[in-house]
Amino acid sequence: MSKIKNKKVLVTGGAGFIGSNLIEDLLKFENTVICLDNFETGHRSNLKSFSSNKRFSFIEGDIRDLEVCKKACEGVDIVLHQAALGSVPRSINDPINTNEANINGFLNMLVAARDAGVKRFVYAASSSTYGDSKELPKIEENIGKPLSPYAVTKYVNELYAHVFRLNYCLETIGLRYFNVYGRRQDPNGAYAAVIPKFTQLFIDHNSPTINGDGTFSRDFTYIDNVIQMNHLAATTENPDAIGEVFNTAVGDRATLLQMTNLLREYLAEFDEKIASVNVIHGPERKGDIPHSLASIEKAKKLLGYEPTHDLEKGLKEAVQWYWENLK
C-alpha cells in the first residue's frame, strides 16, 4: 500500500482522535508533521506520545483565523484537514459555531493551502451528507437532503473543494467518514461518540442508553481503515481520483444493539461482571439517519482501498486499548 513518506504534512485538528492517530502513523515514515489545533475538542494528552519527536511541531491556533492557517501551510506538501466541530446534536444546539468552524474555517484552509502552493488537500467529509436518502448502500454520487446543520456544513465543504479544484487546480480529495471509532476516542462530554461512551459506562458497570429500539444501523469504521484511506488519498497518482469524494468505511453494517452486545461481550473477557450490565432504551435522537451502509467500490477501484478491520476485529483492538486506558 502506498504511504506518505518524507513529506511535510499539516494535520489540522491533530490533537483530536483521528488527527492524533494520523500524526502518530505519519511519523513512522520519516515525515515532518505540523499539528494545528485550538483544543476546543482535542486534548493535549493525545499529543504526548510524540510531542518530543524532532520531526513534530505544534501550532496552537484556530482555523477561523486566516493568518494562522497561512502560517501553518508554509512549505507544506500535503494537508490532512481533520479540524471541525463534529456531532449532529452539537450542530442542532449551536448551528452558528458549527457553521463558523466547519465552513468559514474550511474556506480559510483552502485559501491558505492554495496560496502556499500545497500539492494535495485531503479533507474529512462525512456520511451525514447522505441525509434523507434511503438508498443502501450509500453511493458517492447519490445524496439526499441534509438532516442537520452539521450535515449542511460538510456538504458545503465538498462544494468548496470542488470549486477550488476547478478554479485553482488545488488537488482536493474528500473522505466521507462513516462512524469512526478506536484508540484515543474521547468517552466523555455531552457529544461523545457511542462506542467510547458505552465502553466507559460498561467498565464502570453502568447501563448505556440506546437512542430508540436499537435497530438503527451503522457502518462502524475502525481508525486503521481511516488512516489507510488518508495515505491512499494523499499519494494517489490516479487522475480520476483527484477532486473526488470517497466513502471511508467497511462496507458492512451492524445495528446499535448488535454493536452494543459485541462490545459488552468483549469487555466481559476482562471483567465478567460486565456481562450482566443491562442496556436501557431512550427516545430517538433528532437528526439521526436511520441506516448507514457505504459502498466502498469507488475507493477500491480508484484508490486501491482494502479495509483491514471489520467490526469484530476493530472492536477487539479498540476494547483492548480502552481497557488499558479508560479504567
Active-site annotation holder among 123, 130, 150, 266: 150
pLDDT of residue 287: 66
Strand, helix or coil for residue 281 = strand
CATH topology of domain 8-181+223-250+289-308: Rossmann fold (3.40.50)
pLDDT in tens, 254-311: 999 999 999 999 999 999 999 999 999 998 877 677 888 999 999 999 999 999 999 9
* φ and ψ at residue 259, rounded to 5 degrees: -60, -45
SS3 for 145? coil
Q: What CA–CA distances, in Å, run from 56 to 2, 8, 32, 50, 77?
A: 22, 10, 6, 7, 15
Contact between residue 110 and residue 116 where contact means Cβ atoms under 8 Å apart: no
Average pLDDT, the chain: 95
Cell of 178: 462513516
Distance CA 98, CA 85 (A): 6
* pTM of the predicted model as reported, rounded to 2 decimal places: 0.95
- The phi-psi region of residue 169 (left if phi > 0; otherwise alpha if psi is between -120 and 50; otherwise beta) is left
Kindly state the cell numbers that stand for 1.
Answer: 500500500
Which residues does the chain have with pLDDT short of 70? Answer: 190-191, 287
Signed CA dihedral, 121, 123, 225, 61: sign only? positive
- The residue extents of the domains of the chain are 8-181+223-250+289-308
Q: What is the Cβ-side half-sphere exposure of residue 132, based on CA atoms within 13 angstroms?
A: 5
pLDDT value of position 206: 95
> Distances from the Cα of 106 to the Cαs of 79, 124, 189, 287, in angstroms?
12, 10, 24, 23
8 A C-beta contact, residue 191 and residue 40: no
Q: Note if 191 is an active site residue.
A: no
Q: By C-alpha distance, which of 143, 301, 285, 289 is closest to 212?
A: 285
Distance of CA 299 to the CA centre of its chain: 16
CB 149 within 8 A of CB 92: yes
The confidence score (pLDDT) of residue 190 equals 67
